[in-house]
């Protein structure tokens, strides 16, 4: 098994989520180094759904329900962040939580 080394490449953004979608948040890498991954971490007790875009027009996220597709869903109380591919460079994020509420941490990262 090969280990991956991650290096933070920008400030962490914290979103406190409710059942209303967050405003669009800009995730910006440091300097000229273009990240294309985000470490996302749901530390709250409820599910969270997240959408990404390379423009400031981001789809409204939705938590999947039985028989219906939803956005990328993060489980509650994650023990570690999940690294997912994202638009290269500056990207835009919108998120939503369930009725329990969630806290989402988003950090741009590089694979080193």
- Model confidence over 40-72: pLDDT tens digits? 999 999 999 999 999 999 999 998 888 888 899
- Give the residue carrying structure tokens 């109380």: 77
Residue 57 and residue 111 in contact, taking contact as beta carbons nearer than 8 Å: no
Q: Supply the pTM of this predicted model.
A: 0.88
b/e map 54-69, b = 16+ CB within 10 Å: eeeebeebebeeeeee
Report the DSSP beta bridge partners of residue 51: 94
Residue 90 and residue 35 in contact, taking contact as beta carbons nearer than 8 Å: no
pLDDT reported for residue 107: 93
pLDDT reported for residue 3: 78
| Domains contained in the chain, CATH given | 6-111 (2.60.120)
Mean pLDDT of 82-91: 88
pLDDT reported for residue 1: 65
């Amino acid at each position: 098994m090969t280990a991956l080394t991650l290096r933070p490449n920008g400030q962490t953004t914290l979103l406190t989520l409710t059942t209303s979608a967050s405003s669009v948040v800009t995730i910006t890498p440091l300097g000229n180094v273009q990240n294309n991954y985000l470490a996302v971490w749901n530390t709250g007790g409820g599910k969270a759904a997240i959408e990404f875009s390379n423009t400031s027009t981001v789809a409204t996220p939705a938590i999947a329900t039985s028989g219906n597709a939803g956005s990328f869903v993060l489980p509650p109380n994650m023990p570690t962040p999940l690294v997912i591919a994202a638009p290269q460079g500056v990207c835009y994020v919108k998120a939503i939580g369930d009725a329990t509420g969630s806290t989402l941490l988003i950090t741009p990262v590089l694979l080193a």
